Amino acid sequence: MSQKREGAVSLAACVCAEFIKMRRAPIWIAFLVLPAVSTVIGCANYLANIDVLTPGWESLWTQQTLFVCYFFLPALLGAGASYLWRLEHQGSNWNELMAAPIPAWCVFTAKLAAGAFLSAVAFAAMTALFVVSGLVLGVPGSFPVAEFVEEVALGWVGSLAIVAIQLVVSLLVRNFAAPVGIALGGGILGLLAATVGLGSVFPYALMQTGMNSNALVVLDAVTIARILVMSVAWVVAAGTFVSVWLRRVDIHA
Amino acid sequence: MGSVTLPVALGLEFRKTRRRHLCLIGMSLLAFQLVWLCANMSSYAKKSPDFTAILAMLPALNAIVLPLLCTVVVSTMVDVENRADMWKELLTMQDARSVVVAKWLCAALVIGVLVTVQTVVVVVVGVSFGLTENIPCPALLAQYWVSTFVVCLMLATIIQAICLATANPFVPLVAGVGLCFLGLFVAYLPQVFSWLIPSAYFFVLAVAGLDFDAASQVARFHVLPLNVPGLVVAVLVTVAVGVLSLRAFSRKEL
């Protein structure tokens, strides 16, 4: 079997292993419940502030996603990344992982795939709930399909940078809770980065910029390209770091 | 079963947290909060040197950061036994109630230190940004410290109850993130809703408020007296949740 095919087989096996580890885990519920809570409260805010806001799909989107994308979705993704590394950090599982005949990049990519899927679950829930809530509330105006698909897609791509960085943090920090705090801090720094014009560069700002939750971002071709390129760059950088770390740092319990 | 006194149990809890860098993690979270506060202060200070504005801003920042900070502290302490599945062995040497109370006291002391640091740093940073009007007097600072600490303790007690109920660390973390989220969002609804969410008590017990005159577009900040009913509710919730979780854990089949 060629090396490429072996690598692909290892990666597929690793991805399957990650999803097997998450079977029957409560983690899925959190990625559905947080968007649901955000939708309900966003709708309440939208109705309570209808005199101040411009009624429409854009205002509803900002009310539902503003705080979620700045602080709470990064924190939830951080918790997800911690969960993905937790099993390896327990007992002698780390030694087992290091002794397994799997390339280091496969380990990271598999966990990234799992984290990306979790993020996709959250975005899918946000999307579905946004559409349903908008229809129920009778939001005026036609549904901006193209804009909305663009914002959701860019938001998800931007979230991959957060997942990748948090996987690095959770690899290095064996405390389960601390990386979640770092993710929240990253979200705060992302908010500040966006205000100084680094919204399409700083990893924790990419999701916020892509989702355009404050309706202040102009998603032109340059901005979109920058978000895509920087997301990929951060993912590749994180993956390279993890691969080098796993290959070179000695086993420790 | 050996009898371990509370001071010894408390000392053991602190030894268990050695090399977990709890204070460092807590300070880092506070640092993120302060960076954000500084970013807001730098633009505000140009318009008005009124320090009360900072006190009015703090509940929102606290609602975002402090519930997660309390969750990180408590979760780390309880995870020591959860991760190694050491509960049964520990409870052959120490009473369950003693373990729970010691962990709670340890968390309370760490959180107390962090709230103290936050209070001092906010004053120092506020003055250094030129907000020299209405600098809070010691009594007001004490009111702020007590209000913030009591709410943090309430949140820590709730999170500890969740940590003791389930071995999965993901559940209390999601609860912590959820409390941050709800606390902030509920602040935008009528104040009566804030009484229903534990993390919204940062707003219920706020030491400063804002009056906005829509006609003249002028915002005026003013100091608020201590919300005694809010404080009493927070303390009662803390005691109730603490007692219930203590009883539930004492009787839990491990």
- Residue-wise pLDDT tens digits, A68-126: 888 889 999 999 999 999 888 887 888 888 888 888 889 999 999 999 999 999 999 99
Token reading at A160: 């991959």
Taking residues B68-86, what's their average pLDDT?
Answer: 90
Q: Is the pLDDT of residue A231 over 60?
A: yes
- pTM equals 0.87
Taking residue B41's Cβ as centre, other Cβ atoms within 10 Å add up to 22
Closest in B20, B64, B173 to A79, CB measured: B173
Distance (Å, whole) CA B76 – CA A82: 13
pLDDT classification of A2: cutoffs 50, 70, 90: low
List chain B residues with CB under 8 Å of A32.
none
The residues, ordered by sequence, that sit 6+ positions from A237 with a Cβ below 8 Å of its Cβ are A164
Q: Is the pLDDT of residue A143 over 90?
A: no
Q: Is the pLDDT of residue A249 over 80?
A: no
pLDDT classification of B184: cutoffs 50, 70, 90: confident
Chain A interface with B: residues with Cβ < 8 Å: 25-27, 30, 33-34, 37-38, 41, 44-45, 48-49, 67-68, 71-72, 75-76, 79, 82-83, 86, 90, 175-178, 180-182, 184-185, 188-189, 191-192, 195
User: Distance from CA of residue A214 to its chain's centroid?
Assistant: 18
Percent of chain A with pLDDT over 90: 45
Sign, Cα dihedral of A198, A200, A202, A205: positive
Contact A75 B28 (CB under 8 A): no
Residue B162 has a pLDDT of 95
Q: How many CA atoms lie within 13 A of A162 on its CB side?
A: 39
Residue B159 has a pLDDT of 97
What three-state secondary structure class fits A25? coil
Sign, Cα dihedral of A98, A101, A104, A108: negative
Percent of chain A with pLDDT over 70: 95
* Alpha-helix residue ranges (DSSP H) falling in A49-177: 57-67, 73-89, 93-99, 104-137, 145-172
Q: Which of A180, A189, A192, A195 to mutate to test the interface with B (most CBs of B within 10 A)?
A: A180
Taking residues B13-35, what's their average pLDDT?
Answer: 88
Taking residues B181-185, what's their average pLDDT?
Answer: 87
Residue corresponding to tokens 């839990």? B252
Residue A234 near residue A112 (C-beta atoms within 8 A): no
Integer CA distances (angstroms), A234 to A1, A81, A171, B80, in order: 32, 16, 16, 33
Q: Is the pLDDT of residue A34 over 90?
A: no
Closest residue by Cα to residue B75 from A131, A179, A13, A247: A179
The residues, ordered by sequence, that sit 6+ positions from A52 with a Cβ below 8 Å of its Cβ are none
Q: How many CA atoms lie within 13 A of A196 on its CB side?
A: 11
Q: Is the pLDDT of residue A135 over 90?
A: yes
Contact A177 B177 (CB under 8 A): no
Residue A96 has a pLDDT of 84
The nearest CA of chain A is from the CA of B177 a distance in Å of 6
Closest in B169, B181, B186 to A176, CB measured: B169
Taking residues B235-254, what's their average pLDDT?
Answer: 92
The nearest CA of chain A is from the CA of B142 a distance in Å of 27
Taking residue B13's Cβ as centre, other Cβ atoms within 10 Å add up to 21
Residue A216 has a pLDDT of 73
Residue B205 near residue B230 (C-beta atoms within 8 A): yes
Taking residues A167-188, what's their average pLDDT?
Answer: 91
Contact B177 A75 (CB under 8 A): yes
pLDDT classification of A199: cutoffs 50, 70, 90: confident
Taking residues B28-54, what's their average pLDDT?
Answer: 85
Q: Is the pLDDT of residue A33 over 60?
A: yes
Q: At A247, which amino acid appears? A: R
Express each pLDDT in B111-134 by its tens digit.
999 999 999 999 998 888 888 888
Q: Is the pLDDT of residue B253 over 50?
A: yes
The nearest CA of chain B is from the CA of A253 a distance in Å of 12
Chain B interface with A: residues with Cβ < 8 Å: 20-21, 25, 28-29, 31-33, 35-36, 39, 64-65, 68-69, 71-72, 75-76, 79, 83, 168-171, 173-174, 176-178, 180-182, 184-186, 188-189
Distance (Å, whole) CA A94 – CA A105: 16
pLDDT classification of A127: cutoffs 50, 70, 90: very high
Residue A253 has a pLDDT of 45
Q: Which is more confidently placed, A191 or B235?
A: B235
Residue corresponding to tokens 């007692």? B243
Contact A37 B178 (CB under 8 A): yes
| Least confident piece of the model among A121-130, B140-149, B207-216 | B207-216
List chain B residues with CB under 8 Å of A184.
29, 32, 64-65, 68, 177, 180
Token reading at B67: 């519930």
Q: Is the pLDDT of residue B228 over 70?
A: yes
Distance (Å, whole) CA A170 – CA A79: 9
Element spanning A204, H or E: helix A203-211
Residue A53 near residue A59 (C-beta atoms within 8 A): yes
Q: Is the pLDDT of residue B46 over 70?
A: yes
What three-state secondary structure class fits B218? strand
pLDDT classification of B2: cutoffs 50, 70, 90: low
Residue A3 has a pLDDT of 64
Q: Is the pLDDT of residue B1 over 60?
A: no
Distance (Å, whole) CA A140 – CA B94: 63
Q: How many CA atoms lie within 13 A of A76 on its CB side?
A: 32
Integer CA distances (angstroms), A30 to A243, B79, B136, B246, in order: 29, 20, 41, 26
Distance (Å, whole) CA B81 – CA A30: 24
Mean pLDDT of chain B: 90
Distance (Å, whole) CA B73 – CA B26: 8
Mean pLDDT of chain A: 88
Taking residues B208-233, what's their average pLDDT?
Answer: 86
Q: Is the pLDDT of residue A229 over 60?
A: yes
Taking residues B146-151, what's their average pLDDT?
Answer: 97
Residue A100 has a pLDDT of 83
Distance (Å, whole) CA A136 – CA B43: 40
